[in-house]
Amino acid sequence: MKKTKLIKDFNEQELSDLCKSLDFPKFHGTQIYKWLFQKKCNSFNEMTNVPQQLKEKINTNYIIDCLKIFKKNKSKIDNTTKFLLETHDKRYIETVSMIDENRHTVCISSQIGCNVDCDFCATGKMGITRNLSSGEITEQLLIVNKHIDKKITNVVFMGMGEPFLNYNNVINAANNFSNPKGFNLSTKKITISTAGILPQIKKFISENQKFKLAISLNASNDKSRNTIMPINKKWNISSILNEIKKYKFNKHRVIMFEYVLLAGINDRYEDAMELSKMLKNISCKINLIPFNEIYGQYKRPSINSINSFAKVLHENKGQYRVFVRWSKGEDIDAACGQLATNSNE
């Protein structure tokens, strides 16, 4: 029988429990965890301080690697690389490496496809196939680490899928990234984005998760948001903001609002004024993202319109900070909103 169980789906405690269930001391679980996520081994045979009998028992039922590179594209306009990765069940996901001076950010996928169906997003047009396991999410970072010769400094869950509809696996993977025995990234360097899945936003806040939270807002009122993000009809802007106000802010833990600028849809002076008023008393970052064109009715606003929108926010400044985030990797469809595969038939 073909092995499909992924050992990377286990966290440190679960690996310790597995070792105990196989009649070996629990501390071997921590050893295995370090080999997987700190030393980044590709074979059980590399685990030199783990008993041979234990390795053989685990190797009988579990695999270490479950993703392989199907295609790799390097941008000609900036230091961005997009990986098309094949899963064990012959599905495909995309992971993006973006290097800018001293920062190396990896954009991680959490699902194969997405069922939130934002009207301007290529991934949303795919529909949903399945959630990725925590091991499949974690392995994306391992692959980038192996093939890009630059230390990873930041992780953003802004790839394919809605992270909060795969909440437990996303949080488990994020914990692997921040665990000192794993990747050892600071929690403030890990950002999890959501289109506004209210029950999971509440859970994230109640659990006092240390990772950064980003909300894909993309509109300043419910009428506009209903049009481009159907999920708003279930959880509208005010319900999200009411929950966000419970968030414990500090200088290292600032909520982020992502706002994709769409020409003639949400980029008017009135939209900027409404957005400013809405977020004025929330300590946050507003990331303005000029739309990355894919297909369909939506267009990127002109440079003048983008700058004018940002200027209105600056001039009516509250507790927020405003940034215009120009996407990377547009020539290889690796930019925000462009991730999609057509290999999941």
* pLDDT-based confidence at residue 344 (cuts at 50, 70, 90): very low
Q: Which of 1-10, 122-131, 176-185 has the highest mean pLDDT?
A: 176-185
Architecture in CATH of 5-63: Orthogonal Bundle (1.10)
Residue of 12, 66, 94, 243 with catalytic role: 94
Residue 15 has pLDDT above 60, yes or no: yes
Query: Which residue type is seen at 191?
Result: T
The confidence score (pLDDT) of residue 338 equals: 44
The confidence score (pLDDT) of residue 161 equals: 95
CATH superfamily, with its number, for domain 68-332: Aldolase class I (3.20.20.70)
The confidence score (pLDDT) of residue 343 equals: 46
pLDDT tens, position by position, 224-252: 999 999 999 999 999 999 999 887 766 66
Q: 287 with 313: CB under 8 angstroms? A: no
Residue of 107, 114, 118, 336 with catalytic role: 336
Report the pLDDT averaged over residues 186-205.
96
Nearest to 267 by CA among 237, 302, 215, 232: 302
Distance CA 235, CA 227 (A): 14
Domain ranges of the chain: 5-63, 68-332
Distance (Å) of CA 342 to CA 5, 127, 216, 281: 26, 11, 24, 43
* pLDDT-based confidence at residue 339 (cuts at 50, 70, 90): very low
The confidence score (pLDDT) of residue 3 equals: 58
* pLDDT-based confidence at residue 309 (cuts at 50, 70, 90): very high
Could you confirm whether 66 is annotated as catalytic?
Answer: no
Burial 263-282 (b: 16+ CB within 10 A, else e): bebbbbeebbebbbebbeeb
* C-beta pairs of 312-317 under 8 Å, 24+ apart in sequence: 312/269, 312/272, 312/273, 312/276, 313/272, 313/275, 313/276, 313/286, 313/288, 316/273, 316/276, 316/277, 316/280, 317/276
pLDDT tens, position by position, 111-149: 999 999 898 887 777 889 999 999 999 999 999 999 999
For 143, how many CA atoms within 13 A lie in the half-sphere containing its CB? 30
- What is the reported pTM? 0.92
Q: What is the Cα Rg of the chain in Å? A: 21
- E strands, the chain, where? 5-6, 62-63, 68-74, 80-86, 92-100, 103-107, 111-114, 127-131, 154-157, 190-194, 212-216, 255-261, 284-290, 321-324
Residue 92 has pLDDT above 90, yes or no: yes
* pLDDT-based confidence at residue 337 (cuts at 50, 70, 90): very low
Could you confirm whether 14 is annotated as catalytic?
Answer: no
Mean pLDDT of the residues in the chain:
91
Report the pLDDT averaged over residues 53-59.
95
